[in-house]
């Protein structure tokens, strides 16, 4: 199980965006229109801008006061306890006020 001091913080925020990135206004509006859904799946081949789109939407939502977590996963992420710890860390970094004991229970 993942010790709390071994959380890889670079997985908890998107890469820094450059000013030269294309802003996908239509797609951002489509995401915004569906923001009340519990799950939105975005599927496209590598290199089609999924991360950039979601990063822009995350920034927009956070400016509106929403609590938005960011977690980058890969195919080796299979430990449920580690996933729970990472999700909680991502939400706390996104603005969630948390004073519970879930970390101790997961450990």
- Predicted confidence (pLDDT) per residue in 70-84, tens digit: 998 887 788 888 888
Half-sphere exposure of 46 (CA within 13 A, CB side): 0
The more confident residue out of 19 and 96 is: 96
The more confident residue out of 106 and 26 is: 26
Closest-CA residue to 57 (of 94, 24, 90, 105): 24
Q: pTM of the predicted model, to two decimals?
A: 0.76
Tokens of 104: 């101790």
């Amino acid at each position: 199980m993942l010790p709390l001091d071994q959380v890889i913080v670079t997985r908890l925020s998107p890469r820094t965006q450059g000013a030269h990135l294309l802003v996908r206004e239509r797609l951002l509006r489509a995401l915004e229109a569906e923001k009340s859904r519990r799950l939105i799946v975005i599927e496209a081949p590598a290199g089609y801008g999924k991360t950039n789109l979601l990063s822009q939407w995350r920034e927009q939502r956070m400016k509106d006061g929403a609590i938005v977590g960011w977690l980058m996963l890969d195919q080796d992420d299979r430990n449920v306890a580690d996933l729970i710890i990472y999700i909680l860390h991502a939400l706390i970094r996104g603005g969630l006020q948390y004073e519970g004991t879930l970390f101790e229970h997961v450990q």
